[in-house]
Structure 1
Amino acid sequence: MPTLSSFDWKKGAWTADGADSLTEKTIANICITGDWAPIRLFKDIMEEQPESVYGDLLPVLKSADLSLVNLESPLSDHGAPVYKSGAVFKGEQHHITALTSVPFDVVTLANNHVFDYGLDAFKDTLDVLNQNNIQWTGAGMSIKEACRPLVVDVKGIKIAIVNFSEGEDLTAAGKTAGVMGWDLSRVEDTIKTIRATIDFIIVIAHCGIEYIPFPPPYVANAFEQMAEAGADIVIGHHPHVPQGIQFYNQTPICYSLGNFAFYQQTNLYYRKLGYLVNLKVNKKSLLSLELVPYGIHDSGLSRLKEEKLPGFWNKFKEISLPLQDKKSLNEAWHGFLHYYGRQGFFNEISMIIEKIKTEPQKGAAMFRNRLTTLQHYHHWKDFLTCLVEGNLESSPEWSRKLIEEWLTCKTDGDRIG
């Protein structure tokens, strides 16, 4: 199984001994990608030339026996935007062709946008997915449906996908429809229950702080808990930038794949980068792991050019090494709290108060989400604790520099090519 020392940091890959001698008939090729939404500049491209948005990644996607993507918006021709903390997204039902053109086999729905246009739009999304034979997991019309793992058979190999999120804006399933929320005991029990009958378990979670290079400690603890429960790989979405890889007791954990087919109108460099995960598995174990980095452009995606790869992998290793032990991870998190600082806290509080004055429902949704979602709870709790204890500004320089780079570094021409 992969370890820190056996992972090839120059290629972003690992292969088990003897894997090359196995027959393809007994191997499943799995491709896991990040956030996908037919919005902004990608909206028309996905409608008019759906395959083109994937650029030269399309052959990689098509070669998979099982391909997964995070559907980060409803697909509906109806509905009105809900009041929530962040932006609201919606694609239309004809945008399904941008999924079927690959085709993607599975979409994960446990995220903070699938209910952006309410329950009817969510129902429309399930309908259009079902009509086009795209399987889904991570949300549902009941908590039982939302929490149910998806099990697929690929070449006789039983693969399970377990999907959960933080349930932002009170969207976690309960007595009503919703996403699979942050119930770690329930997720852990699910993994343990299916472990004996499943060959390979993929856990995908939507969580964490956006735009920074490291996961908060509560996310790392949760992902390690899933690995201990029996997950074969753990994947993170939501930060919209690439984060590193950890090998926890030989279980690979990718904390954030970054954006995929998800366009953001920005010149910030790391929001224009992502990577997908290619796996080869058989009934016994993981055989290989390959990370494929790409850039995000106005016209779609493209694999990083050969001359760009050494720089990407060097930086990827730099943000991955601190994930391997608690002390370094806590230092990385402290660096973010230090960088955010008192001014960041003042700015955020002031923004919310002003929004409550000018748009009461929107402002109330923003403040409510700060109080009810773990990413904001841990952010503010840990920041205020550092302030109380007088050690806010004692973080190591290396962590602050990486935080600043991820939040401020801008593209320069073809830098992301």
Structure 2
Amino acid sequence: MGLENQFSIVISGDLCPTKDTEHHFISGDHEQIFGDCLPFFENADFLVGNLEFVLTDDPKPIKKSGPILYGDTAFVNIFKKAGFDLLSLANNHIKDCGEEGVQSTLKAVAKIGINTFGAARNLIEAKKPFIKEIKGKKIAFLTFAEQEFNTASENEYGANFFDPYEDLDLIAEIKKRVDHLIILYHGGIEYYEYPSPLLQKKCRRFIDKGADLVTCQHSHCIGTIERYQDKTIVYGQGNTLFGYREGNDSWNQGLLLDVQFNENDFKINYKGVQAIKEGGIRLLTEKENQKLLKKIEERSKLVNDSVFIRESWQKFCRKKESLYLPQYLALNRYFIHLNRWTNNKFISVFFLKKYLRSSHNIMRCEAHNEVIQTILKRNSKE
């Protein structure tokens, strides 16, 4: 950036090879994948992203609900060529190939010299922040993923998840050791442009405890931006690299955060990216970017309206009711008696394990749980 006390950190969203980009990953063509984003990346002093797939040459997919994402270990070279310095592994797919997949990912990324955080050999290690000193300033990066089929434990590889009984204190403790704290939160409900009431409450508490910037990933759409306590919360960066879908701008567009630091503070410039049919992404033109930012600005005006946030969430959950209720509520009282009489054989015969996994996932994942709780509360009142 030229001046001694100034530097920049660019934070991308989710990164994953798909059918339209896989051949570029195989050939190692990072220029086709990232296109005119590369000079933008190169201009940053530090480049961060979320690696949303497992790196493995011997995939052993686990049984779970939802898609399973993995690619060859050689695919990581694309991110090295693109200039990534740090990759978050705290997401809902890092354990799609079990503990072995987490191990192979950690080894592959370490081998080429990219730093990782957010997943490790146990939960204690996964909770450790990554701290980088840039031009005399200490910057801490901390990341959390919501709980699905991905979590670490005391003696098991996996991703870090947010534990409110411990991690709010952890945030405060980390902030005492650094100049700035950035939190990447891999959570929130997919395809929803506003924060749910719980997500907003959680991210605001991150700020209260010491975070200077909170950015949410995972939602596959660009959300809203809130200024809270003079700090910034981004409720959804959208996809950075996750494939092209015809006619779906919500999926195809993502937001890069260009965090420009000076002596005492920082400002954020937002730069949009667009997935292309040929496989890869490009930067939005200045005109396109201004149009996108105007839409985000208009949408974000409502983020401090608690009535709107609550009613918008209720409306969204009503649309999801036909999807969630069948997965979560499989039995009425007659079926319950029949299942007890058959010593659980009714469940074993008529409800496949995948349905039980879906129910389990809805119960434990914070975002899914908030949806089903909202739906059940409304139905019980009616």
Q: Same fold (TM over 0.5)?
A: yes
Give the C-alpha shift of residue 359 in structure 1: 8.9
The answer to whether the 8 A contact 1:35-1:72 is kept is yes
Which of 329, 343, 355 aligns to 2:309? It is 329
Please tell me the residue identity of whatever aligns with 2:6.
I
CA displacement 1:392-415 (0-9 Å, x = unmatched): xxxxxxxxxxxxxxxxxxxxxxxx
Residue in structure 1 matched with residue 343 of structure 2 by the alignment: none
2:315 pairs with 1:362: no
Give the C-alpha shift of residue 309 in structure 1: 3.5
Task: Give SS of 1:24's match.
Answer: coil
2:207 pairs with 1:227: yes
Residue in structure 2 matched with residue 290 of structure 1 by the alignment: 269
Find the aligned partners of 2:253 and 2:153 in 1 and give their Cα distance. 32
Find the aligned partners of 1:151 and 1:202 in 2 and give their Cα distance. 10
The answer to whether the 8 A contact 2:103-2:157 is kept is no
Residue in structure 2 matched with residue 204 of structure 1 by the alignment: 184
Please tell me the residue identity of whatever aligns with 1:89.
L
Which of 373, 379, 396 aligns to 2:371? It is 379
Find the aligned partners of 1:122 and 1:57 in 2 and give their Cα distance. 28
Give the C-alpha shift of residue 303 in structure 1: 1.8
Which of 1, 11, 14 aligns to 1:35? It is 14
Task: Give SS of 1:31's match.
Answer: strand
Q: TM-score, normalised by structure 2?
A: 0.89
Find the aligned partners of 2:26 and 2:116 in 1 and give their Cα distance. 21
Comparing 220-229 with 114-123, greater Cα deviation is found at 114-123
Residue in structure 2 matched with residue 395 of structure 1 by the alignment: none
Task: Give SS of 1:204's match.
Answer: strand
Find the aligned partners of 2:295 and 2:127 in 1 and give their Cα distance. 36
Task: Give SS of 2:33's match.
Answer: helix
1:226 and 1:133, CA in 2 relative to 1: closer, same or farther beyond 3 A?
same
1:151 and 1:345, CA in 2 relative to 1: closer, same or farther beyond 3 A?
closer
CA displacement 1:326-362 (0-9 Å, x = unmatched): 2222122122123334x3445656999xxx9799333
2:261 pairs with 1:281: yes
Which of 317, 320, 328 aligns to 2:297? It is 317
Task: Give SS of 1:181's match.
Answer: coil
Give the C-alpha shift of residue 300 in structure 1: 1.0
More strand by share: 2
Q: TM-score, normalised by structure 1?
A: 0.82
2:35 pairs with 1:55: yes
Give the C-alpha shift of residue 261 in structure 1: 1.2
The answer to whether the 8 A contact 1:47-1:97 is kept is no
Identity of aligned residues (%): 26
Comparing 41-50 with 356-365, greater Cα deviation is found at 356-365
Please tell me the residue identity of whatever aligns with 1:230.
G
Task: Give SS of 1:169's match.
Answer: coil
Comparing 170-179 with 135-144, greater Cα deviation is found at 170-179
Find the aligned partners of 2:330 and 2:43 in 1 and give their Cα distance. 47
Give the C-alpha shift of residue 320 in structure 1: 1.2
Residue in structure 2 matched with residue 389 of structure 1 by the alignment: 381
Find the aligned partners of 1:315 and 1:372 in 2 and give their Cα distance. 33
Give the C-alpha shift of residue 168 in structure 1: 1.0
Which of 74, 78, 99 aligns to 2:79? It is 99
Give the C-alpha shift of residue 53 in structure 1: 0.8
Comparing 245-254 with 74-83, greater Cα deviation is found at 74-83
Please tell me the residue identity of whatever aligns with 2:211.
A
Find the aligned partners of 1:282 and 1:199 in 2 and give their Cα distance. 12
Which of 109, 115, 118 aligns to 2:89? It is 109
Find the aligned partners of 1:346 and 1:383 in 2 and give their Cα distance. 8
Give the C-alpha shift of residue 376 in structure 1: 1.4
Residue in structure 1 matched with residue 122 of structure 2 by the alignment: 142
Task: Give SS of 2:78's match.
Answer: helix
Give the C-alpha shift of residue 47 in structure 1: 2.7
CA displacement 1:50-108 (0-9 Å, x = unmatched): 23211211111111101100000111101311111110010111111111012100000
Please tell me the residue identity of whatever aligns with 2:48.
L
Comparing 262-271 with 46-55, greater Cα deviation is found at 262-271
The answer to whether the 8 A contact 1:77-1:121 is kept is no
Find the aligned partners of 1:237 and 1:32 in 2 and give their Cα distance. 11
Find the aligned partners of 1:183 and 1:198 in 2 and give their Cα distance. 22
Report the number of matched residues: 365
Give the C-alpha shift of residue 292 in structure 1: 0.3
